[in-house]
Amino acid sequence: MNRNQAFTILQQAGGTRAARVIIENTNKNSWFFFHWTAYRLRRGVPVAKIIHQKWFYGLKFYTNRHTLDPRPDTETLVSSVINDPIKTQSPRILDLGTGTGCIICSLVKNIPNSSGVAIDKSRQALRVARRNIHNLGLAGRIKTKHKRFDRPYNYNERFDIIVSNPPYIAHNDPRVDIGATHDPKMALYAANNGLAAYQAIAKNAKKWIKNDGKLFLEIGIDQGTDIKTIFISNGWDLVRSETDLGGIERVLVFTPSHQSVN
């Protein structure tokens, strides 16, 4: 099958942009491949899941069915950390629920002398993260651990920066688009109306952060008030909130309250 025929098949299934991206990122030319890919496009499979790559913060990441595809909204979280004044010359970063590793890799690539630890409860996701860490030349600066942030694990150190884009979608939320149905449910959905992960982080992260450290969280639409209440009641001070390019409150920054005891 020639490229023009393949492009037409993919364009009819998923539109011009999807067809162009897939054509540019494959060297396959079989009839079966392009018809199977067209079928997947019609079912709403994201292009990133088909070509197994997604650009994020100027870096190319491998992705598959075991991880969330990096999303533009999360670049707001990365920018918030990078643009924040850093008090130490060699900041240590803890990434809770790393997935593809796109957050911590982008941070370590852009913050001089930084390093850190990326955790996830999914072994499959950690394999993806390790692949990206290796591909980006960061194996000496980022370590991965198979851990959960809803458990009070002892890392034998405290971190300058903690970041997380945890699962925050309530079960049966009607706003979930069809593309997200192809992402792992454990990375999307959380109990307690989408707040369970934040409750766990608010409780446990004080054991992992330095007294002058900062915690950066991505949040969902209209969750800001509830999450601020959760963290303040658990001994955190709100530093600021930030909006994404659409004007939606997307990032909350906290620091341990000086009145609380870690």
Give the number of other Cβ atoms within 10 Å of residue 152's Cβ. 12
Q: Do 164 and 62 fall into the same domain?
A: yes
pLDDT beyond 70 at 88: yes
Measured over the CA atoms of residue 196, residue 133, residue 71 and residue 56, the dihedral's sign is positive
Task: Say if 60 falls within a structural domain.
Answer: yes
Task: Say if 261 falls within a structural domain.
Answer: no
pLDDT of 68-78, one tens digit each? 999 999 999 99
Q: Do 146 and 28 fall into the same domain?
A: no
pLDDT of 172-230, one tens digit each? 766 666 666 777 777 776 778 889 999 999 999 999 999 999 999 999 999 999 999 99
Q: Do 80 and 182 fall into the same domain?
A: yes
How many angstroms separate the CA atoms of 259 and 236, rounded?
Answer: 9
What token pair was written down for 249?
A: 């409150």
Note down the domain range covering 172.
53-256
Q: Into how many domains does the chain fold?
A: 2
